[in-house]
Amino acid sequence: MNPDPANQGQPVSYSSSSSSAGSRNKLTTILLSVFLIAAICFGGWAFAQMQDYKNNSDKKAAAAVAAAKKAQATELQAQFDQQSKSPNKSFKGSATYGSVAFNYPKTWSAYVDRSNTSEPINAYFHPNEIPGLQSNTALALRVELLTTDYASAVKQFDSEVSDGTVTAKAYIPPKLNGVSNVQAGTMFSGQINSQDSTQNGTMLVIKVRDKTLQISTQSAEYLSDFNDTVLPSLSFAP
C-alpha cells in the first residue's frame, strides 16, 4: 500500500517538544524570580543587621567614653584630695608627758583638751569640722594619753579578741624602732568602739613612761591616712 500522495513533502509537526521547551522556560523564569526575591530579602536583612550593629556600636562606644571620663574624673578628684592634705600639720604634746608627736592631714580640724591631769591628752581630729562628741560619729583620729597602766588598757579588749570581733598584734611605730626603753605596743583592729558595734577601726595601745597612749582611727575610711601619715610620724620620749 503506497503512502497518500497528498502528504508527501509536507513538514511533520512536533507539538509535544514545543510544549516541553515552554515549560522549561517558565520554570527557569520562576526560579530566577524566586532567587531574585530571596536576594532582595537577604540584602534587606543584611542592611538592617548592619544598621543595628552600627547603632549598637555607637551606643557602646559612647558608654565606654562616658565610663572612661567618669573614671578619670574620680582619679583626678582622688589625686586632688590627697594633694590637698599636704603639707601635713603637726601635733606635739607636753614634754612633761613624754612629748607625744605625730603628723596629720592639714585638711583635718583638731580639738585638744589638756586640762585634765588624769588624761593629759584628750584629742579629736576630723576632716573640716569636729562632729558633736555625743553624735557617735566615727572620727578620723582619736588620741588619748591615760593614767591607766598598759596591761589594764590592753585587757579591755580581751572579750572582743576572744570572740573574733577584734584582732590583735604587736606593733612598734617605725620612728621608735631600736629606741631604748620603748616597749612594743598592741595594734587592735575591728570593733574597737564598744559603744557602737557598727564601727570598724584600728587602735594602737602603747606604753609611754608611766602612762598609756591610745591612738586610733574609728573608720576604715581614714585607715590609709592613719597608716601612711599618722603612725609613720608617731614618736615620744620613753
Same domain, 49 and 126: no
* Overall domain count for the chain: 2
- For position 69, what pLDDT does the model report? 65
Q: Which of 163, 179, 235 is nearest to 204 (CA)?
A: 235
- pLDDT tens for residues 153-184? 999 999 999 999 999 999 999 999 999 999 99
Q: And the C-alpha cell for 4?
A: 497518500
Contact 57, 75 (CB under 8 A): no
Instruction: Kindly report whether the global pTM for this prediction surpasses the value 0.85.
Output: no
Same domain, 79 and 120: no
Alpha helices, DSSP H, located in the chain: 15-84, 150-155, 158-163, 223-225, 231-233
The answer on pLDDT for 188 being more than 90 is yes
The answer on pLDDT for 218 being more than 50 is yes
Which has the higher per-residue pLDDT, 107 or 84? 107
Same domain, 100 and 182: yes
Same domain, 228 and 193: yes
Domain presence at residue 6: no
Same domain, 53 and 104: no
Contacts of 206 (CB under 8 A, 6+ apart): 150, 171, 173, 183, 184, 185, 186, 212, 213, 215
Which of 38, 61, 84 is the C-terminal boundary of a domain? 84
Domain presence at residue 106: yes
- pLDDT tens for residues 23-51? 777 777 787 778 788 888 887 887 877 77
Domain presence at residue 7: no
Contact 104, 125 (CB under 8 A): yes
Contact 144, 122 (CB under 8 A): yes
Contact 76, 216 (CB under 8 A): no
- For position 1, what pLDDT does the model report? 47
The average confidence (pLDDT) of the chain is 84
Name residue 211's beta-bridge partners: 208
Contact 218, 192 (CB under 8 A): yes
Structural domain range at position 45: 19-84
- For position 19, what pLDDT does the model report? 63
Mean pLDDT of 130-152: 93
Same domain, 131 and 25: no
